[in-house]
Structure 1
Amino acid sequence: MTAAEGFLMFFKKKKGEADNNMNQKNLDDKELIPVDKADFIQKMKEQLHDSADLNIKELTNGFTLIFFDTLTDKKMLNGDVLARLEDAQATPNEALKHITVSSTSKYKYVDDVVNSLLKGAVAVHSAGHPVIISAMVGTQENRSLTRPENESQVLGPQIAFNESLATNISLIRRFLTNPNLCNESYSVGKQTNSAISLLYLKGIADDDMIDRMRERIKSIDIDGVLDSSNLVQLIEDNSFAIFPQMLLTERPDRACAWLLNGKMLVLVDGSVQVIGAPQTFIEFFQSMEDESVRWQIATFIRALRVFSMIVSIFFTAIYVAALTFHYEIIPQTLLIPLGESRSRVPFPPIIEALLLEVMIELLREAGARLPTKVGQTMGIVGGIVVGTAAVDAGFTSNILIIIIAVSALASFTTPNYMMGNVIRILRFPLIIFAGMWGFYGLMFGFCFLLIHLLRQSSLGTPFLAPFYPPRFEDWRDSIIRLPIGWTNSRPVQTRPLDRLKYRYRKNKN
């Protein structure tokens, strides 16, 4: 053993001793369960502020049951707990023998009992014993499984996650019947105590990445986490970046595909979206349907999405720069209709473009916030009426209407909602730069975006991989998607412990 290894083992030992001492101190600070029945009832009422839905039942044989009416399943409570304890001897061991609920626990601290009650358990106290038996009899009020709404596709499974954490984990386990699928539970939020699960495949996911994700989840100090979209902003690498660094999905098949590639999943109870990490920039333009179609079609669709992103961000800005500073790049055959179209417009190109972009965003936001049928009508009719009226009134030109419509249409090809919002926002500063400095301003904005992307990371891995740093092996499943036999290795970005997904041998007989 080298001196460095000896020092490392020494510090690890000291850290372990310090952690054990801290844990012991925390246990010593906890309040034990009162042995006396009256003291126990009084303590529970104090801890739960004698809530109106707090129910206390005292059985004749010495058992005392405490539970919340609004959180427990009455049929399970009466049949599996109350009916079973009526003839039992009032001891914790006898309670465990008679209760037929599958999930039971023993607690000796008041805080643990309170937490179990808030999750839908019934606490069984035996007079003279400092131990509580907790049986989970919570209600299972879940929304039925439906089709994906935000990630709909023609091919592949037609099922989506719902708000139940248990249901979502069961969906993943049905896709991956693998004993190496690990599930770690955490509780986040001082007020909400939201249940969070970290899933990964043991033997494939990188241990350092798993540790990094654990530390980020454990370090969260917040009142409450109500949705995975809130949690992802707390655990991503750079919360000030405009680009999201982790992906959200509502599809179990996509979540399982991430696990098979060595990624991790974070699930939040009450959320229909699952967090996947680490991710790369190009993965925001990929869809699960790409894996279900021929590789030529998948490559064309992915290239079309990337091209649409470029068009959506730069098309309007190029129009503004050309009309403000660079008339020489416009073909002569287009100058005459362009001049006629702009002859009645009183605004400079930058004001004209910003005005129309804001109008499009107003129509889009209004359509999204209104009820479905009214929103669709508002988007279609509003766009036609406002566009036609703007041209007739001389507020804008016909050509810019076409450019704005193409840019808005191109932004909808992005399969990820979060990245689609980013593309919508980026158009505005680029239009301003183009209107102030022409193509020089446009190039300045492009370089700024590129540098910003180069500086980003996802769980410590490069965000622009596999293009920077160049990893040619992973180019086989990036913008292009080669035949399935060529994509049999996991991406280098996730640093998987097992690189090979499968061995592909084509039978030519």
Structure 2
Amino acid sequence: MRKSRKKQSTTSLFPLKVEELKKQIEEKFENNTDLNITIYEHQNKNLIVFYISYQVAKEKVENVLLKPLLESKKEWDTSSILNEIPLSAGETVDKKENILKNLINGSVIVYVENENAAVSYVMLNVEKRGLEKAETESVVIGPQVAFTESLETNLNIIRWRIRSTDLVLEKFLIGERTPREVRLLYLKSLANETDVSTMRQRLQDLVVDEIEDGNVLMQYIEDSSSTIFPQYYATELPDRASYAITKGRLSVLVENSPTAIIAPTTFISFFESTEDLYMRWNAGSFLRILRFFSIFISVLLTPMYVAAVTFHYEIIPLELLTSIGESRAKVPFPPIFEALLLELLIELLREAGARLPTKVGQTIGIVGGVVVGTAAVQAGITSDILIIFVTISALASFTVPSYLMGTTIRVLRFPMIILAGTLGIIGIMFGICFLFIHLLKLTSLGRPYLSPVYPFQSEDFNKTFFRFPSTFQGKRFVSYRPKDLMRFNNKTAKEKNDIDE
């Protein structure tokens, strides 16, 4: 998908008759009834105006462009139109490729017969939805606004949060058949030059038909396409994107996508929430540690049950072993099949709840889980103790702030259950070792994925696994290698300058 771009023609289309131009445009937009082409006669000269009707603001075209153009007593040519019409977004175009590109991007094209260029005015009629609360990354404390599908709105939000002339917004146009605008955002005085150059090169070298969404772009430019782990963070929260930018990282915004890409990213950062910053450091640290603990619960709890019941009865306390034996007395299936069946049932309920309308989905999730679980126990298909373990594992996976990483953890449970059911604890240890080796090999924009654990960076531990008070966090993340490592002086921040009474 990365290859050299096609060279555009450098031959000018003009000068020519307006009828000839009309014929060429109509041939290119065959059977497009929304293409509006009108030929006017003004001051003994033919004038052609064409645009796609549903893409432009028609009132603006009529009142701001056509009315002064046709009522004027001047003899129009390309330069006089561009200078006299009071519109800032005007430019001259003389190549057919540029005219077609501007046309489908919401421009109005004006051409005076036998001139050397046409005039293009951007009059895009953009449909926007209002700013709303985030859905996939809901927060209780902190800003509630989320990104929208409008790139202009998203850039405006970031600009409003980062009021600095140091903010760079590099522009790219990606897509051979359906071009979309992509913006690379970073602070010039902080972002690592290697990271900026790497991301810029990946965006420039990308040649595809279209970019459907920011999440699709993320898959095109990631370091490894074979891993199940996301290598960039996809967020719909402007405060998270701006926080990452002010710490020396990069963000990428895509036109028509309500998602911002944050890079580089570490495995640990997927378990951090912006709420941790807005809480007291004690509570924020507790919740962050709880999320890390939930990873092990989600991935290992059900496999440990399967391994213990299948191979290692001796590690189960006698009282609990009696309860497990009684609950499994009527179950005809081996523990591995029983666990996989329940895990699949949980995933079916979760997927059904996500696809149905909100109110119906909540009902399906609660009622379906209770009814199906109770019926499965009474029918002797599964044991009630395993239902408890599977439910706890599912709840633990939902504590992950990132939807992509949460899905990854839920998928990992299935191979771990199979390893536990076939090899016992040895299989679980094999799976854990394989995961650690795989994570050690991964990179995000060329940076180690397991940083600050590997390579070991003790200075970043108080910003990842837990939080110290803000006065102790004078340094930025060493792992991301920003140009300016210091945020403020720790000693000065600790000084109390209260007024003596």
TM-score normalised over the length of structure 1: 0.93
Q: Residue 41 of structure 2 corresponds to which residue in structure 1?
A: 60
Shift of 1:28: 5.4
CA contact (8 A) 1:262 1:496 kept: yes
- Shift of the 341–30 alpha-carbon distance from structure 1 to 2, 3 Å rule, reads farther
1:98 to 2:84 alignment: yes
* SS at 1:298 equivalent: helix
Among 349, 354, 369, which residue is 2:335 paired with? 349
In structure 2, C-alpha distance between the alignment counterparts of 1:170 and 1:478, rounded to whole Å: 29
Q: Residue 314 of structure 1 corresponds to which residue in structure 2?
A: 300
In structure 2, C-alpha distance between the alignment counterparts of 1:125 and 1:246, rounded to whole Å: 46
- Shift of the 27–398 alpha-carbon distance from structure 1 to 2, 3 Å rule, reads closer
1:454 to 2:440 alignment: yes
In structure 2, C-alpha distance between the alignment counterparts of 1:495 and 1:375, rounded to whole Å: 44
Q: State the AA in 2 paired with 1:113.
A: I
Query: Where do 1:141-290 residues align within 5 Å?
Result: 141-290=127-276
Q: Residue 56 of structure 2 corresponds to which residue in structure 1?
A: 72
In structure 2, C-alpha distance between the alignment counterparts of 1:179 and 1:410, rounded to whole Å: 42
In structure 2, C-alpha distance between the alignment counterparts of 1:313 and 1:84, rounded to whole Å: 69
1:507 to 2:495 alignment: yes
In structure 2, C-alpha distance between the alignment counterparts of 1:208 and 1:126, rounded to whole Å: 49
CA contact (8 A) 1:34 1:40 kept: no
Shift of 1:100: 2.2
CA contact (8 A) 1:246 1:278 kept: yes
* SS at 2:49 equivalent: strand
CA contact (8 A) 1:33 1:130 kept: yes
1:361 to 2:347 alignment: yes
In structure 1, C-alpha distance between the alignment counterparts of 2:348 and 2:25, rounded to whole Å: 52
CA contact (8 A) 2:10 2:95 kept: no
Q: State the AA in 1 paired with 2:223.
A: D
Shift of 1:46: 2.6
Q: Residue 123 of structure 2 corresponds to which residue in structure 1?
A: 137
CA contact (8 A) 1:92 1:126 kept: yes
Q: State the AA in 1 paired with 2:495.
A: N
In structure 1, C-alpha distance between the alignment counterparts of 2:59 and 2:100, rounded to whole Å: 22
In structure 2, C-alpha distance between the alignment counterparts of 1:212 and 1:99, rounded to whole Å: 42
Shift of 1:124: 1.2
Shift of 1:190: 1.6
Shift of 1:29: 4.5
* SS at 1:185 equivalent: strand
Q: Deviations over 1:227-248 (max 9, x none)?
A: 1111100011011110000011
Unaligned runs of 5+ in 2: none
1:418 to 2:404 alignment: yes
Q: Deviations over 1:473-497 (max 9, x none)?
A: 1112001111112222221232211
Shift of 1:50: 5.8
Q: State the AA in 1 paired with 2:416.
A: L
* SS at 1:59 equivalent: strand
Shift of 1:345: 1.0
Q: Residue 331 of structure 1 corresponds to which residue in structure 2?
A: 317
Q: Deviations over 1:388-425 (max 9, x none)?
A: 11111111111111101101111110111000100110
1:438 to 2:421 alignment: no
Q: Deviations over 1:6-57 (max 9, x none)?
A: xxxxxxxxxxxxxxxx99x946544533433222222222333362111112
* SS at 1:55 equivalent: strand
Q: State the AA in 2 paired with 1:52.
A: T
Aligned residues: 487
In structure 1, C-alpha distance between the alignment counterparts of 2:451 and 2:85, rounded to whole Å: 54
In structure 2, C-alpha distance between the alignment counterparts of 1:200 and 1:36, rounded to whole Å: 47
Q: Residue 112 of structure 1 corresponds to which residue in structure 2?
A: 98
Unaligned runs of 5+ in 1: 1-21
In structure 1, C-alpha distance between the alignment counterparts of 2:11 and 2:448, rounded to whole Å: 44
Greater alpha carbon shift after TM alignment, 91-100 vs 31-40: 31-40
Q: Residue 83 of structure 1 corresponds to which residue in structure 2?
A: 67
Q: Residue 29 of structure 2 corresponds to which residue in structure 1?
A: 48
> What's the RMSD between the two structures over aligned residues?
1.6
Q: Residue 17 of structure 2 corresponds to which residue in structure 1?
A: 36
Q: Residue 15 of structure 1 corresponds to which residue in structure 2?
A: none
Q: Residue 7 of structure 1 corresponds to which residue in structure 2?
A: none
* SS at 2:54 equivalent: coil
CA contact (8 A) 1:434 1:442 kept: yes
- Shift of the 287–68 alpha-carbon distance from structure 1 to 2, 3 Å rule, reads same
Q: Residue 109 of structure 2 corresponds to which residue in structure 1?
A: 123
